[in-house]
Amino acid sequence: MDVRAIVLIGGAKGDAARAQESIGGMALAYLDVLGLPVVERVQRRLQSFGVSCITFISDAPCDGGPFAHAIDFAPSMPHLHAEAEQLWQVAEETFIKYAEDGADLVVALRIGPYVEADYEALVQHHLDHHCAVTMAVDGESQPLDLFVLSASARADAAALFRNRMERMRRECAPFYVKGYLNRLETSADLRRMAVDGLLAKNAVRPEGAEIKPGIWSGAGARIHRKARVIAPAFIGAHAKVRASALITRGSVIEHHADVDCGTVVENSSVLPFTRIGAGLDVMHSVVGFHRLAHLRQSVEVEIADEKLVGMVPLTPLSRLAGSTAALFAFLPIQIYRSLVASSQRTSAAKCPESPEPIQAVLEAPVVEVPATGAEASEFPSHLAVARRYGDE
């Protein structure tokens, strides 16, 4: 049986819902969860059930292009862009093309929700009930934006897409999904999906090697020997965790992210290409694209200061240029320090004799000045005492 799929990315009902399903203008479907984008995990699951051809149709803003282009779409899985209402028109045209090419069934789903459905059982349910369109629902009979359509039911498909998957032309027995479900509407849902993956509550497995029990590291990840990573945790491909940083309580550092020296990341997710500044505490949050979403307070703020939350260059050439510039800025400082240290050692070795005998200095009377006012306290007024947080 020839089963094909149409995967819609976006298509949320209303501007508010569309804004919810993104972070900093980036669609959640294109963002990584434990090393792989959500859309690529959907693709792999469909392939594992024998779906021969998949078409991805997105209305995500062009700003999400670098993330969409980084996904390894196979030639048999085209990725189309359509604005607003055109999304549904392109979906209908794709369905007609599949039907003309000889497909038997078409799976239509929207991300939106991330659903680990048993597609084999879904198709069998559709065939057993002789449906034109079968809708998947959760345990409370709420729709999941997941359907199976018979290729011969063109009128039913047209009605479904023209009504934005909200209404069907003919009712049929719904299919109840028993697998993992995440509505994936907010950054909190993205964070929960990652934590559930670390705890093996879903099929989202970390994309990397388990370097220690409960700690996964992606290809090219760099963890400083003085940094601490406490299980469970995930460090994505080419990410950097610098000296004295602490990653703990199920935290996730996605690919090409950079956690600077002394920063604590606790129960949080750091999104791809995000740089976290030095000496910070990031707790119960999702951070990325100059934004921080605090999950407990349900507050999202924009951070303009690059020293706090910045972006790593998206292209390899830009990253190489930045690393080279940093190296050349670093070398003169090291050369200067070496010269100064060498000069100090030479001066100490050739220190001239004191013009005044040491014995005379030791025997000189000591003049005591009575302490008054501020000077009578534990520390004199001219003495500044500094304590750096976390350096006991």
Q: What is the pLDDT of residues 127-164, one digit of tens each?
A: 999 999 999 999 999 999 999 999 999 999 999 999 99
- Any domain includes 333: no
Confidence of residue 26 (pLDDT cuts 50, 70, 90): confident
Boundary residue ending a domain (311, 331, 365): 311
For the chain, how many structural domains are there in total? 2
Looking at the predicted structure, is the pLDDT value of residue 50 above 50? yes
The DSSP secondary structure of 197-211, one letter per residue, reads HHTTSSS---SSEEE
CATH number at residue 218: 2.160.10
Chain-centroid distance of CA 136 in Å reads 28
Picking from 86, 56, 55, the residue whose alpha carbon sits closest to that of residue 161 is: 86
- Residue 144 tokens read as 């999941």
- The answer on 155 and 21 residing in a single domain is yes
Are 142 and 270 part of one and the same domain? no
Instruction: Assign 33 to helix, strand or coil.
Output: strand
Per-residue pLDDT tens over the stretch 228-258: 999 999 999 999 999 999 999 999 999 999 9
Question: Do 215 and 177 share a structural domain?
Answer: no
**Do 94 and 20 share a domain, yes or no?**
yes
Across the chain, mean pLDDT equals 82
379 domain residue, yes or no? no
The pair of structure tokens assigned to 232 is 């469970």
Q: What is d(CA 139, CA 83) in angstroms, rounded to the nearest whole number? A: 33
3-state secondary structure at position 330:
helix
Same domain, 231 and 104: no
- 37 sits in which H/E element: strand 36-37
Contact in structure between 46 and 107 (CB atoms under 8 Å): yes
Q: How far from each other are the two terminal CA atoms of the chain, in whole angstroms?
A: 67
CB 191 within 8 A of CB 286: yes
* pLDDT in the model for residue 279: 96
Residue 380 lies in a domain: no
**Are residues 105 and 16 both part of a single domain?**
yes
In a domain? residue 296: yes
The segment with the largest mean pLDDT, out of 2-11, 54-63, 308-317, is 2-11
User: Do 167 and 222 share a domain, yes or no?
Assistant: no
Report CA-CA distances (Å) from 372 to 59, 262, 380, 381, 383. 73, 40, 10, 11, 15
Does the structure show a pLDDT above 90 at 60? Answer: no
Determine, yes or no, domain membership for 170: yes
Same domain, 232 and 305: yes
Residue 386 in domain: no
Domain boundary among 289, 311, 333: 311
The angle at the Cα of 29, spanning 257 to 213, to the nearest 5 degrees, equals 50
pLDDT, mean of residues 96-118: 96
Burial of 74 (0-12, 13-18, 19+ CB in 10 A): exposed
Query: pLDDT tens for residues 351-373?
Result: 444 344 434 433 444 333 344 44
Name the token pair of 298.
């349900």
- For the beta sheet containing 133-137, the strands, ordered from the edge strand earlier in sequence to the opposite edge, are 79-81, 53-58, 3-9, 105-111, 143-150, 133-137, 175-176
CA distance 314 to 64: 11
| Residue 235 belongs to some domain of the structure | yes
64: domain CATH number is 3.90.550.10
Report whether pLDDT(201) > 60. yes
From 233, 289, 99, select the one nearest 91 (Cα to Cα): 99
Residue 382 banded pLDDT, cuts 50, 70, 90: very low
My answer on whether 156 and 106 are in the same domain is: yes
Same domain, 178 and 279: no
pLDDT of residue 313: 86
User: Does residue 358 sit within a domain?
Assistant: no
Domain of residue 85, residue span:
3-182
pLDDT band at 316 (very low <50, low <70, confident <90, very high): low
Among the candidates 294, 311, 328, a domain finishes at: 311
Q: Same structural domain for residues 224 and 173?
A: no
- At residue 76, φ and ψ (nearest 5 deg) are -80, 5
151 and 239 together in one domain = no
Model confidence at 59, pLDDT cuts 50, 70, 90, reads confident
